[in-house]
Copies of this chain bind each other. A is one copy, B any other.
Amino acid sequence: MTGTRDQGLNRRGFVLGTVSGAALAMAPTLSGAGPDSSNKKTVLAQISKMHAENIKRLQDWIAFPSIAAENRNYPQGAEYMADLARKAGFTDVRLIPTSGKAGVFGRLNSGGATTLAIYFMYDVKQFLADEWSSPPLEGRLVPREQLGTVCMGRGAVNQKGPQNAFLSAMMAFHAAGKKLPVNLVLVCEGEEEIGSPHFGEIVMTPDVLQALKSCAGVLLPSADQKPDGSLEVQLGAKGIVELELVASGEKWGRGPQKDIHSSLEAQVDSPSWHLVQALNTLVEKDGHTPAVAGFFDLAKPLTERQKQMVATYAAEVPESVVQKQYGVAHWVHDLNWYDSLLRLYSQPTINIEGLVGGYTGPGGKTVLPHRAVAKIDMRLVPDMTAVDTLAKLKAHLLSHGFGDIEVNMTGGYDPTQTDENSKFMQAILKTYRNLGVSPQVVPRSPGSWPGYRFTNPPLSLPAGGFGLGHGTGAHAPDEYYLIESANAKVQGLDGAIASFVEILYALA
């Protein structure tokens, strides 16, 4: 279980929680006027009738957390996910074994011409109950000023709330006696919160792969609206490598093999200084730009169109609000807002997540530690890969005399990118606009999710998040998902479910 403050953002859910975006036209109209209009109306009409059971299903799910890092509720959490899928109408549902936690796979054949893949995660992040204002496994409905009523609990928005809303949409079809306009393939993992180390095994399982090959795209149900109703469409995400750099007397062959008295530093080498010197080689003199040899070799610059997206974003989102939100007075290199955003969307990074060595408690303790660790994440842009970047880091350390420092990768994956002009992405953009939301389109999330498993060969599918609704606090205390909205521009649970009904028709 982790013990640090959480910044309210997860690896995937990079959300500028309080940023005012473009003014919204109006509250969404939740029915269209196409050929499926009549069926859709019937389906949408079911949603409000099922409101109570849809909430109850979310609360029950929150009460049963799967936490991969703690091996909690495994394999029961996977079985629970499989049962939910079956109840929503998926057939052939089964667990997909991996070297780690099993995935869950299912299909729904509606006789549609189009098949859509849905990516789920059934695991949630660790939590410390003491830090919560409401019991984290209760999914209690609590009022939230200016927002309305939210369901508060671990996994509420990341990702049980949006996923349950998607399942609710499927159930609305069933209740209405209507077939879904598309066939579905469900791929679900239980290790997203530890970096999806075995998700590749799920995707590459022969019949899963075969089913995915038939799909037009991969949808990630989400709750994309900010508190003001605006939302971003991200055309991809950076990749990530998370790792620990470990300097130790044992591996170095110098310094002590256990913590010894600090006075001995006069005659004994220090693995901590060794780590500091190694770290110092990883960035340029600006204390920022990665200095690993070849680090940028595969990094593609932004296209003119991508720069245009950033310019639009910079014009629409006020810099001062974002600076205040982060507590940042100056962007790196004292860049202006637009240039800093260009970096945000285009630059690969090497970040220190954490430093741990020797005595870490209050005050001091006179030890010469035998071991020091830097927790690092590297963010990757196309066409960088996790494997290549990790290899370059190792080669860099070796060539600088730090070959003894262990590089223990704990998770990561390649960047993912989907063409803005793909039918899939156009359907998402069009659906949002039909629902009265003008999305801000950005080149990619500066955060990461393992979408490359879909967007890279052998599948090469478009993939992206979709969903009205709102929630926040992923990885943090008091995580919530909006149920009853007090703001017409922000959808509550029913509106979120309706948005999934809409996207299924749009993708058909």
Residue ranges of A at the interface with B (Cβ–Cβ < 8 Å): 1-7, 9-11, 14, 69, 194-195, 238, 240, 242-244, 249-250, 253-270, 272-277, 279-280, 283, 287-288, 326-332, 335, 340-341, 343-347, 349-370, 372, 375, 377, 379, 410-411, 445-448, 475
11 A-B pairs within 8 Å (CB atoms) are namely: A7-B260, A9-B260, A256-B328, A267-B341, A268-B328, A270-B351, A276-B279, A276-B352, A353-B367, A354-B364, A354-B365
- Nearest to A368 among chain B residues (CB) is B351
- A330, B269: Cβ atoms under 8 Å? yes
Interface centre among A10, A11, A261, A350 (most CB of B within 10 A): A261
- A194, B363: Cβ atoms under 8 Å? yes
- Nearest to A242 among chain B residues (CB) is B364
Report the Cα distance A365→B4, complex, angstroms: 9
- B268, A326: Cβ atoms under 8 Å? yes
Nearest CB of B to A462, in Å: 22
Given A4-B360, A354-B367, 12 extra CB contacts under 8 A: A5-B258, A257-B326, A260-B328, A266-B345, A266-B347, A270-B287, A273-B283, A273-B288, A276-B352, A354-B360, A364-B375, A364-B410
Point out the residues of chain B lying under 8 angstroms from A359, CB to CB.
2, 4, 353-354, 375
Report the Cα distance A123→B422, complex, angstroms: 72
- Nearest to A268 among chain B residues (CB) is B328
Report the Cα distance A254→B335, complex, angstroms: 12
Partner of A260, one of B326, B341, B356: B326
- A331, B268: Cβ atoms under 8 Å? yes
- A355, B352: Cβ atoms under 8 Å? no
Point out the residues of chain B lying under 8 angstroms from A280, CB to CB.
276-277, 280
- B343, A354: Cβ atoms under 8 Å? no
Nearest CB of B to A393, in Å: 15
Given that A7-B261, A261-B447, A410-B363 are known contacts, is A330 also in contact with B254, CB under 8 Å in the complex? yes
Partner of A9, one of B261, B356, B377: B261
- B446, A263: Cβ atoms under 8 Å? yes
Partner of A331, one of B1, B267, B349, B369: B267
Interface centre among A10, A267, A354, A361 (most CB of B within 10 A): A267
Q: Which A-B residue pairs are the 10 nearest by beta carbons?
A: A257-B327, A355-B357, A272-B352, A263-B446, A9-B261, A354-B358, A354-B359, A265-B351, A267-B340, A242-B364
- A366, B377: Cβ atoms under 8 Å? yes
Report the Cα distance A11→B263, complex, angstroms: 8
Point out the residues of chain B lying under 8 angstroms from A351, CB to CB.
262, 265, 270, 368
Report the Cα distance A270→B279, complex, angstroms: 13
Point out the residues of chain B lying under 8 angstroms from A3, CB to CB.
360-361
Report the Cα distance A73→B183, complex, angstroms: 71
Report the Cα distance A277→B263, complex, angstroms: 24
- B267, A238: Cβ atoms under 8 Å? no
- Nearest to A258 among chain B residues (CB) is B327
Nearest CB of B to A11, in Å: 5
- A249, B327: Cβ atoms under 8 Å? yes
Report the Cα distance A375→B269, complex, angstroms: 17
Nearest CB of B to A249, in Å: 6
Report the Cα distance A260→B327, complex, angstroms: 9
Point out the residues of chain B lying under 8 angstroms from A343, CB to CB.
266-267
